[in-house]
Amino acid sequence: MNTFRTDRELLRQWRRLARSQFPAICQPRPAQSHKGTFGTLGIIGGAEGMAGSVSLSAVAALHCGCGKVWLGFHQPTLPLPLLTQQPEIMLATAEHLLQRSDISAWVIGCGLGTHESAVSVLKSCLQQHNIVTLLDADALNLLAQQPDILAGRKNKHNIILTPHPGEASRLLQCSISEIQGNRNQAVCRLAAKYNAWVVLKGHQSLIASPNGQVWQNNSGNPGLATAGSGDVLAGIIGSLLAQQIPLEQAVYAGVWLHGIAADILAANEIGPIGLCAGEIAPAVRWLRNRLSETN
Ligand SMILES: NC(=O)C1=CN([C@@H]2O[C@H](COP(=O)(O)OP(=O)(O)OC[C@H]3O[C@@H](n4cnc5c(N)ncnc54)[C@H](OP(=O)(O)O)[C@@H]3O)[C@@H](O)[C@H]2O)[C@@H](O)CC1
Ligand SMILES: Nc1ncnc2c1ncn2[C@@H]1O[C@H](COP(=O)(O)OP(=O)(O)O)[C@@H](O)[C@H]1O
C-alpha cells in the first residue's frame, strides 16, 4: 500500500494544470465501467536477459489505469517468474500477441534487441496502421538502421517516438552533443523526418507534434536517471493511449505524470539518489486518483 505526503497547495496547482492542459486524465471512473472500458495495451520487447524492461512498462501501465495488459516477449519461451511478480499481466510470445485483434494501443521496443528477427516483429506491428503505436529503445535503434521501416505505414500521426539523446543521435546520424546543444531543433528535425510525435527525453523533455509544435515538460528530477525509467514512461503513455485519452493529451500527460511521480517520491524521501524505476508506478497511480478527485 502506498500513500504519499504532498503539500496541499502543490496538489491544487497540479490539479489546475492537469485540468486545463490534459482534462481527459482527470475524469473519475464511471460507475458503469468494466475492464474493457479502459482498453488493452500490448507491449512487445523483452528479448533474453531483457524481460525486466517490458515488465517495468507493463506494471506501470496497469498502475496508470488501463484495463488489461498483454506482454509479448521476443523469446521462444516465456520468462515465467514474471507471473508471480504481477500475475495480472497476460503473457505471450511476440508472434502470438501480434495476432490478437483486441489490442487498443501498442508499445514496442523495450529490450527488443536489434537482430534480424526483431525487424520482422517491428514491421508486422507497424502494419496495424490504425492502432496507435509507441516506439522506444531498440525499435528506435532499428528505425535508425532502416529508416524505410516506417515507409509503408499509412498513418504516421498515430506513431510516437520516445528517444533519449543517444537514440536521437542515431536517428539523426549526429553526435549526442549536437542533440543536446540544440534540443529544440533536434526534436523538430525528428518530428519532421518521421512525420510523427516525438518525445526527446532527458532533463526538461521536449515533445514535438508531427507539424512541429514543441512543448517543454518541467516536472521530474535526476532520480529518473536510472535504468528502466524510460521503459516506465513508455508504459504510462501506452496505458493512457489504450484508455482512449486523445493522443496529444496522452503524450503530454504521460511525460508530466512520470516527472511529477518522481518529484512526489523525492518529497517522500524516496530518491532522488537510488530511486528505482519500479517505484514510479505506485506514485503515478496515487497521483491519477488525486487528480480525479473533485475538491
Ligand atoms: N531491466 C532491463 O531489462 C532494462 C533494459 N533496458 C534495455 O536495454 C537496451 C539498451 O538501452 P540503453 O538505453 O541502456 O542503451 P543505449 O541505447 O545504448 O543508450 C545509451 C546511450 O545513450 C546515451 N544517453 C542515454 N540517455 C542520455 C541522456 N539523458 N543524455 C545524454 N546521453 C544519453 C548514452 O550516453 P553516455 O552518457 O553513456 O555516453 C549512451 O551512449 C534497450 O533495449 C532498453 O530497453 C534498459 O531500459 C534498462 C533496463
Ligand atoms: N536528469 C533528469 N531529469 C529529469 N528527467 C530525467 C533525467 N534523466 C533522465 N530522465 C528521464 O528518465 C527517463 C530515462 O529514459 P531512458 O534513458 O530511456 O531510460 P531506460 O532506457 O533505462 O529505460 C526519461 O523519461 C528521461 O526524460
pLDDT at 80: 66
Q: What 3-state DSSP class applies to 101? A: coil
Q: Tell me what the pLDDT averaged over the chain comes to.
A: 95
Distance 201 CA to ligand 1 centre (A): 11
How does pLDDT run across 230-266, given as a tens digit for each residue? Answer: 999 999 999 999 999 999 999 999 999 999 999 999 9
**How many contiguous H segments (helices) and E segments (strands) does the chain have?**
12, 9
ipTM of the complex: 0.96
CA dist., res. 3 & res. 80, Å (int) = 30
How does pLDDT run across 171-206, given as a tens digit for each residue? Answer: 999 999 999 999 999 999 999 999 999 999 999 999
The predicted model gives 279-289 an average pLDDT of: 97
How many percent of the chain have pLDDT more than 70? 98
pLDDT at 295: 65
The predicted model gives 47-70 an average pLDDT of: 96
How does pLDDT run across 12-22, given as a tens digit for each residue? Answer: 999 999 999 99
Q: Is 221 exposed, middle or buried (0-12, 13-18, 19+ CB in 10 A)?
A: middle
Could you give the maximum distance between any two Cα atoms of the chain, in Å? 53
Distance 46 CA to ligand 1 centre (A): 15
Please name the residues in contact with 245: beta carbons below 8 A apart, sequence gap of 6 or more.
Answer: 22, 24, 25, 253
CB-defined site of ligand 1, < 6 Å: 50, 52-53, 110-111, 137-138, 164-167, 176, 202, 227-228, 230-231
Domain boundaries, the chain: 8-18+38-129+212-291
Indicate whether 54 pLDDT > 70: yes
**How many Cα atoms are found within 13 Å in the side-chain-facing hemisphere of 282?**
11
pLDDT at 81: 65
What does the block give as the cell for 207? 515533445
Q: What is the pTM of this model?
A: 0.97
Residue 160 corresponds to which amino acid? I
- Mutate which of 229, 233, 257, 264 for ligand 2? The one with the most ligand atoms within 8 Å of its CB, which is 229
Distance 109 CA to ligand 1 centre (A): 12
Is position 263 annotated in a ligand binding site?
Answer: no
**Residue 287 CB coordination number (10 Å):** 23
pLDDT band at 10 (very low <50, low <70, confident <90, very high): very high
The predicted model gives 270-289 an average pLDDT of: 97
Indicate whether 280 pLDDT > 90: yes
Q: What 3-state DSSP class applies to 54? A: helix
The predicted model gives 18-31 an average pLDDT of: 95
Do residues 58 and 71 lie in contact, with contact meaning Cβ atoms separated by under 8 Å? yes
The predicted model gives 113-142 an average pLDDT of: 96
Ligand having the closest approach to the CA of 49: 1
Q: What is the DSSP string of 9-42?
A: HHHHHHHHHHHHH-GGGGPPPPTT--GGGG-EEE
Distance 30 CA to ligand 2 centre (A): 34
CB-defined site of ligand 2, < 6 Å: 137, 164, 201-203, 205, 220-222, 224-225, 227-231, 233, 258
Record: fold of 8-18+38-129+212-291 = UDP-N-acetylmuramoyl-L-alanine:D-glutamate ligase (3.40.1190)
pLDDT at 155: 83
